[in-house]
Amino acid sequence: MFGLHRLEQIKENNLFSPYNPMIKDLLPEFSLGLSPMDEITTPEYRQICKSYGADVIFTEFVSSDALIRDVEKSYKKIAFSQEERPLAVQIFGNDEKALVDAALRVEELKPDWIDINWGCPMKRIAGKGAGSGILQDIPRMIKLTKAVVDNVKIPVSVKTRLGYDESDKPIVETAERLQDIGIQLISIHGRTKTQMYRGQADWTLIGKTKENPRLSIPVFGNGDIDSVEKFIEYKERYSLDGILVGRHAIGNPYFFLQCKQALKNEPVFNPSLQEKTEICLRHLHLSAQINGEERACTVMRKFYPRYFLGVRNFKPYKLKLLVSKTIEEVEQILSQMQADCN
């Protein structure tokens, strides 16, 4: 029951609207989610990953400045279908007013929640104090996040990294401070800002964040999950509320299904070349419906090498796919590849 006392407490703390469910209530006991990836987790690819069992979906990040300037391309990136729920729209920025105004606009689109990116290490983002650039100034990260939490009615989450560099990894304390100002979920990539994507993700501090008895919000771990075995090992070892998969899900949307089958000790889906081709073509057609044929053929170029990773003698087909301009052309190349490589 939602007692009066609880309602008053919510109003006082302004933690979340009582009319919106909490993130916790939207998640299964354990979530296997699709990590946000710029120009990868497009509306069409998110739908495909969802169809293979991704429990939680994040859009790729969009700039708060672009949203408040009504940049159409940014709104296209975060357009979503009902089937993708629970879904979070991810925003980034470094200016308080722009972040709040963008969050208010995103709220009107009715995603399940808003995720703030405090993790991107790319120079064009972090160099301006957005993404993981903010990890040099945690009080500002808390202030900007609080401004968003206080101004929207839907829940807010944060995706971030362990800290700025090797000598500064305050994630356990940062997660607590973020919880105290009202975020409802934290996703942690086990690297620092200066590490970019180098070295190996360190999950021990992600585990410690989860173990903190003062932390009650869900904690998702992220970084370098690249096999079903590693997924199961890390799920068991760190007892997190969820794991996000990024790069290994590119061209491998059935990874979500494989992980779930393995958890249930069921035989794991091992697609034939024909099945991989069918999945890839489904992706291409969906992309064409959304983006038009020409753009779809361009967008798909970064996916082909991943869909057909490990296929012997793929190289000549890859070279043709990378310059293909029509669906018919792609279909012909793939059909020839199947005939030759099977």
Ligand X SMILES: Cc1cc2nc3c(=O)[nH]c(=O)nc-3n(C[C@H](O)[C@H](O)[C@H](O)COP(=O)(O)O)c2cc1C
Binders in 130-169 for ligand X, by CB under 6 A: 159
Name the token pair of 190. 């086990």
Give min distance, CB of 191 to ligand X, in A: 7
Which x/- pattern over 272-311 shows residues binding ligand X (rule: CB under 6 A)? Answer: ----------------------------------------
Strands 219-222 and 186-192: parallel
Using the rule CB under 6 A, is 225 a contact of ligand X? yes
Report the C-alpha gap between 24 and 163 in whole angstroms: 25
Which x/- pattern over 19-48 shows residues binding ligand X (rule: CB under 6 A)? Answer: ----------------xxxx-x--------
Give min distance, CB of 174 to ligand X, in A: 16
Strands 31-34 and 242-245: parallel
Task: Give the count of residues interacting with ligand X (CB under 6 A).
Answer: 21
Closest residue to ligand X in the complex (CB): 246
H/E segment holding residue 89:
strand 87-92
Concatenated DSSP letters for 120-164? ---HHHHTTT-GGGGGG-HHHHHHHHHHHHHH-SS-EEEEEEEES
Binders in 241-270 for ligand X, by CB under 6 A: 245-248
Give min distance, CB of 233 to ligand X, in A: 15
Give min distance, CB of 193 to ligand X, in A: 12
Of 15 and 144, the one with the shorter C-beta distance to ligand X is 144
- Residue pair 65/303 in contact (Cβ under 8 Å)? The answer is no
Answer yes or no: 280 catalytic: no
Stretch that binds ligand X, among 21-29, 94-102, 106-114, 116-124 (CB under 6 A): 116-124
Concatenated DSSP letters for 269-321? P---HHHHHHHHHHHHHHHHHHH-HHHHHHHGGGTHHHHTTT-TT-HHHHHHH
**Residue 45's closest CA among 321, 282, 329?**
282
- Residue pair 65/280 in contact (Cβ under 8 Å)? The answer is no
Q: Which of 120, 259, 280, 297 is catalytic?
A: 120
Stretch that binds ligand X, among 42-50, 165-173, 217-225, 232-240 (CB under 6 A): 217-225
**Residue matched to tokens 């990874």:** 255
Binders in 43-102 for ligand X, by CB under 6 A: 60-61, 90
Catalytic residues: 120
Give the binding site for ligand X (CB under 6 A): 35-38, 40, 60-61, 90, 117, 119-120, 159, 189, 222-225, 245-248
